[in-house]
């Protein structure tokens, strides 16, 4: 299973990097999608996935399968790099036509000298605190390709020993189109 995952990730990334990835965009109500994804994670492991949102509807235009892949990679990281925490938080907010998705964990954190390499393929932080945690170093490279394929931006803030927050900013999609 791990080998199959690695090969799939590798092929996904190759397709994206070469510009052969075609995205199938449709309007997506983010709170519904995130609730669905969180529920799937809920049974798999001990961390609770807690969603914070102020609106029942926040629409973006996205490829739903690729966007699931973004969430799955970021949630997977948030959980596996916070082995002694019991939950992660997902915040959905809208402001001036932009939607921000924040995925926050209370885990190991990212050392400053790793900052510029985080989205490079095969990069993994080599610290004694995470040498036992498996992975290939492709997850974040894929996430960045997908987010940029949606004209979004991704960034993170982190404090060693306290935790990390990854943020994605996307254009909000005006579903009605009738009010202006």
Q: Are 69 and 89 a contacting pair, CB within 8 Å?
A: no
Q: Kindly state whether residue 124 participates in binding ligand ATP, applying the rule CB under 6 A.
A: yes
Q: Tell me, what DSSP letter sits at residue 119?
A: T
Quote the least distance from Cβ 21 to ligand ATP, whole Å: 17
Report if residue 164 touches ligand ATP, rule: CB under 6 A. yes
77 binding ligand ATP? (CB under 6 A): yes
Answer yes or no whether residue 130 interacts with ligand ATP by CB under 6 A: yes
Among 101, 118, 147, 170, binds ligand ATP (CB under 6 A): 118
How far apart are alpha carbons 58 and 12 in whole angstroms? Answer: 28
In this structure, the number of other CB atoms found within 10 A of the CB of residue 173 comes to 19
Minimum distance of ligand ATP from residue 166's CB (angstroms): 7
Burial of 123 (0-12, 13-18, 19+ CB in 10 A): middle
Q: Closer to Mg ion by CB, 124 or 150: give it.
A: 124
Residues 106-145 that bind Mg ion (CB under 5 A): 139
Return the percent helix, strand and coil in the chain, to nearest 5. Answer: 35, 25, 35
Determine contact, residues 35/51, Cβ cutoff 8 Å: yes
The answer to whether 104 contacts Mg ion (rule: CB under 5 A) is: no
CB of 135 to ligand ATP, least distance (A): 3
């Amino acid at each position: 299973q791990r080998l199959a995952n690695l090969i799939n990730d590798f092929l996904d990334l190759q397709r994206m990097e070469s510009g052969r990835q075609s995205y199938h965009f449709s309007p997506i109500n983010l709170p519904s999608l995130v609730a669905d994804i969180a529920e799937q994670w809920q049974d798999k492991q001990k961390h609770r996935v807690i969603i914070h949102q102020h609106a029942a509807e926040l629409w973006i235009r996205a490829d739903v399968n690729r966007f699931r892949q973004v969430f799955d990679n970021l949630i997977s990281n948030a959980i596996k790099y916070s082995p002694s925490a019991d939950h992660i938080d997902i915040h959905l907010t809208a402001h001036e036509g932009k939607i921000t998705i924040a995925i926050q964990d209370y885990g190991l954190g990212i050392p400053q000298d790793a900052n510029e390499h985080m989205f490079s393929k095969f990069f993994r932080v080599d610290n004694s605190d995470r040498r036992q945690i498996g992975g290939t170093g492709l997850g974040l490279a894929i996430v960045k390709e997908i987010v940029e394929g949606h004209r979004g931006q991704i960034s993170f803030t982190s404090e060693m020993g306290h935790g990390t927050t990854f943020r994605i900013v996307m254009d909000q999609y005006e579903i009605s189109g009738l009010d202006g």
